[in-house]
Structure 1
């Protein structure tokens, strides 16, 4: 017997480790598990996918509940003038199994059929996972469309999605005949599950006993708010009357803050880096009745992300093999660059990569804002540089798309600068394998954790970063990374951006380029320091262990 809390056809395919025997379910809107399974948008999904892999590797008694998005997030393509184009294409996944489980959840008082599909753990090396869809024949067109697109731009459909994930996930557990000891909300998207549990027990203590909450962002947009009455009319709270919802959540007034409600309906919450823990406690300190906020620093699954050749060289401490494998991986990445852009990159040239979700606070275009300095950097023949950008803006964030297209225009005449489309797991992996410098320049304290630099470091790329998120727990400037010194907090946003831009160019001119071209042995020692020090702490095996020890306990 495996000790799995799930019934036989869906049970864990391994013997549960007694250390991790407590039953837990993990709710997330997105999971990046494999390139072919396109139900994720970015960092939150990458993190959740790593969590599912490591939980399986550590033999934990945990399962995942997510959504089966018919069209995924979106397919990122190019228009006629090489600008970014958004495409929505239906996806099909033959590896998912029909559980035979269907049930109804109320959305705006209307019963919507939800079907549960199952992903066995042995397909991608994860814990057992369930994915919910409303895109089935039993539903009308409006109901079918609920699970069409991840982060739909229609705010009403978004509410319906959160009801299906949370309330639908709770209903699925009832259908399976299980009531896990821990209900883990990865962000507040699945919060309606807490109201489903409250409906059953009519006790705040019973809800709090079960629920834990991971808050991922200090960003206003990431902490969603809706009109209280609108949520009530949408059946977000199930059959719980509004005055009782107010009592349970302590939320007065017309605006319902999902994160605040999650903090009051859970017995513990965690931020996703040490710095983010400080920022989160400060952010919520004036709100009474919230649960304690600790932190579990995000991490990524090293086994999934590491290139074997690079890892072998690290274990041996063999700089020559490491350099030669890195050159080979750069050449492979540059085939993708050539295929997409017609530009031929050189594997012997220092290559900088900026690749993550396009969002304003991440400042994708920062280093181009002084065009004279940018030109001087990319036209330097003595110490040449190549730069690659990639990332998916939200498909209806026209400001971010404009930034993306501005970069395409700004760089089109430089043969050594490229902007790539299709930033998903596979391209992300290629970029990390092929980068020499992984550039990360968010506005400080706005990046809760950021994880792309971890997997870049595992593959021999050096982080050049502002001092934010996970970097504060890893970086030693000049030893395993390069840090842009923090700006004075009293500066205006314009002056702060200028400070960080100058910090980047100063680091390039005084540290990065002299080391890469002038002291190759010193460069590879730095690379080895980075690779040796990013694991084990930033491997998600540590993270999932910490969740059991600090959050689920």
Structure 2
């Protein structure tokens, strides 16, 4: 079948200020609960960007991957601990674009890559082309390259980058080419090498760097990548030497920073951290801040929006109780625990990674017991999140919380942290806990969508938070500590500050001063919209990066 989407096509005439043709490459897109090709924050961000691109009539397309088994489906073992399930996905709402290209993967010179298209009318996004190697004519191994998002196999991960980058760039060529090629994180780096060889100019290539975590900035042996076909052709030793850093390695972030005309970090604080991280590598592009954001129309509850606009406290409280009941039905279903909509409910929900400290509240068990058994100021706490399926440290923290919470009537750990559960948690919580070690969170966006729905941020002063927070007025912020201290000492100090804030500020305000609490909630929504909505972000990308 030949699709109208085998040429650059939008269902609208692009707006004048957004007429530049932009191809946006991302390893994951969180578009809708049903399209399970995302793992977390990076995908949620890309999804919101594609939605706002559509709403603003931008001349943009997305280039991504069609993961046969998605990331993973998070389930439970018999003892309620976490189990990663890999279930085949069949998305019948995707259309075959009719576009197929070939790439070299390792010793196979002609692996076929096909592009399926997510049309704008399905979920209200710009057209997104999703690449698959599960194509008739490919050998078994080649067909498995697009099985799992962030595959644990080293060689498969390299192949995935080649498919996203080189096959993605070839698909854009087949569509008529772009004015700007935007890499969202370094996964699609081979695109820049391929495009450069094809005569695409440096001023057409831009790059977004995300995590300051070492594991998130891939680094691989340069000669091995050359054998794998990573650069689109075989580089001579002399050419390779120019690309390598750190003793024969290719650092995806460094290479992308060098090849892009301009790059961006995803918050103002992250821009400073990123500039510091990469300053010793010559030839890297300027890193400007464009703070992450989320799509208001998709994430904000309509009744909450209405109550906020009219400052109708009664309507807000009635709706919040309904939203809490929806969330607590999920808690009951998963954990057989009955939560009370009149009790202050705290949520910690995001990817389970060590530096995000899901278990920060459990640092001082004596103090924690006091907090969760306080009859005057009762609390309910929910944790949710998906560790990488092979991050055994993250999974261990998750399982530790499961065991700890089992017999506690007001504590729950939920599985299945995807878009729908994320929405329930943000709408049904009073407090959104955000506890990364300072400077380790590039941006973090879950607190933005929580704030849109009246969940007040209690957070360390990291990522996007310094641009938003007014302590005691729209959020509650932990006092600054020295990020160079040993992590053990940081965790001890931050946990003490967190208990203090909850005991002395948050709980008394919520229960004893409901009018003041309501003001904080409305201030929070005032300050998050429109500054942290993706319409602002998508516009800023066109103005400042493209």
Q: TM-score interval w.r.t. the shorter chain?
A: over 0.9
Inter-partner Cα distance in structure 1 for 2:397 and 2:534: 32
Cα displacement (A) at 1:294: 0.6
Inter-partner Cα distance in structure 2 for 1:534 and 1:544: 16
SS state at 2:87 partner:
coil
* TM-score, normalising length: structure 1: 0.96
Q: Does residue 362 of the first structure (1) align with residue 366 of the second (2)?
A: no
Alignment partner of 1:278 out of 256, 272, 278: 272
Q: Does residue 161 of the first structure (1) align with residue 160 of the second (2)?
A: yes
* Conserved? CA contact 2:150–2:157, under 8 Å: yes
Matches within 5 A, 1:364-443: 364-443=358-437
* Conserved? CA contact 1:199–1:240, under 8 Å: no
SS state at 1:343 partner:
coil
Cα displacement (A) at 1:491: 2.9
May I ask how many residue pairs the two structures share in their alignment? Answer: 542
Tell me the residue number matched to 2:59: 61
Inter-partner Cα distance in structure 2 for 1:417 and 1:318: 31
SS state at 2:75 partner:
strand
Alignment partner of 2:94 out of 87, 93, 96: 96
Matches within 5 A, 1:244-259: 245-246=239-240, 249=243, 251=245, 253-259=247-253
SS state at 1:117 partner:
strand
Q: 1:544 to 1:490 in 2, by over 3 A?
A: closer
Tell me the residue number matched to 1:459: 453
Tell me the residue number matched to 2:142: 143
Any runs of at least 4 consecutive aligned residues in structure 1 with deviations exceeding 4 A, and if so which?
A: 6-10
Alignment partner of 1:337 out of 321, 331, 342: 331
Inter-partner Cα distance in structure 2 for 1:317 and 1:188: 43
Cα displacement (A) at 1:7: 6.6
SS state at 1:65 partner:
strand
Gaps of 5+ in 1: 1-5
SS state at 2:114 partner:
strand
Alignment partner of 2:537 out of 530, 540, 543: 543
CA offset digits 1:215-242 (Å, max 9, x no partner): 0011100000001111011000121414
Tell me the residue number matched to 1:3: none
Cα displacement (A) at 1:10: 5.2
* Conserved? CA contact 2:244–2:251, under 8 Å: no
Cα displacement (A) at 1:207: 3.9
Tell me the residue number matched to 2:12: 14
CA offset digits 1:278-328 (Å, max 9, x no partner): 001111111111111111000000010000010000000011111111111
Q: Does residue 70 of the first structure (1) align with residue 68 of the second (2)?
A: yes
* TM-score, normalising length: structure 2: 0.97
Inter-partner Cα distance in structure 2 for 1:349 and 1:12: 48
Tell me the residue number matched to 1:127: 126
Inter-partner Cα distance in structure 2 for 1:535 and 1:309: 16
* Conserved? CA contact 2:168–2:191, under 8 Å: yes
Inter-partner Cα distance in structure 2 for 1:410 and 1:67: 38
Tell me the residue number matched to 2:49: 51
Matches within 5 A, 1:33-52: 33-52=31-50
* Conserved? CA contact 1:248–1:265, under 8 Å: no
* Conserved? CA contact 1:232–1:242, under 8 Å: no
Q: 1:245 to 1:320 in 2, by over 3 A?
A: farther
CA offset digits 1:445-466 (Å, max 9, x no partner): 0000000000000000000000
Alignment partner of 2:342 out of 316, 327, 348: 348
* Conserved? CA contact 2:361–2:368, under 8 Å: yes
Cα displacement (A) at 1:250: 6.2
* Conserved? CA contact 1:350–1:386, under 8 Å: yes
Tell me the residue number matched to 2:173: 174
Gaps of 5+ in 2: none
Q: 1:168 to 1:432 in 2, by over 3 A?
A: same
SS state at 2:458 partner:
strand
Alignment partner of 2:184 out of 183, 186, 193: 186
Cα displacement (A) at 1:9: 5.8
Q: 1:66 to 1:520 in 2, by over 3 A?
A: same
* Conserved? CA contact 1:70–1:90, under 8 Å: yes
* Conserved? CA contact 1:246–1:252, under 8 Å: no
Alignment partner of 1:447 out of 433, 441, 444: 441
* Conserved? CA contact 1:207–1:265, under 8 Å: no
Task: Please provide the CA RMSD for this pair.
Answer: 1.3
Inter-partner Cα distance in structure 2 for 1:225 and 1:253: 11
Cα displacement (A) at 1:490: 5.0
Tell me the residue number matched to 2:476: 482
Tell me the residue number matched to 2:26: 28
Inter-partner Cα distance in structure 1 for 2:362 and 2:180: 47
Q: 1:491 to 1:7 in 2, by over 3 A?
A: closer
Tell me the residue number matched to 1:112: 111
SS state at 1:143 partner:
helix
Inter-partner Cα distance in structure 2 for 1:52 and 1:225: 28
Q: Does residue 288 of the first structure (1) align with residue 282 of the second (2)?
A: yes
Cα displacement (A) at 1:212: 0.3
Inter-partner Cα distance in structure 1 for 2:225 and 2:260: 20
* Conserved? CA contact 1:392–1:423, under 8 Å: yes
SS state at 1:39 partner:
coil
Inter-partner Cα distance in structure 2 for 1:384 and 1:41: 33
* Conserved? CA contact 2:101–2:170, under 8 Å: yes
Alignment partner of 1:328 out of 318, 322, 327: 322
* Conserved? CA contact 2:438–2:483, under 8 Å: no
SS state at 1:86 partner:
strand
CA offset digits 1:488-546 (Å, max 9, x no partner): 34532211111100111000111101100001111111100001110001000000000
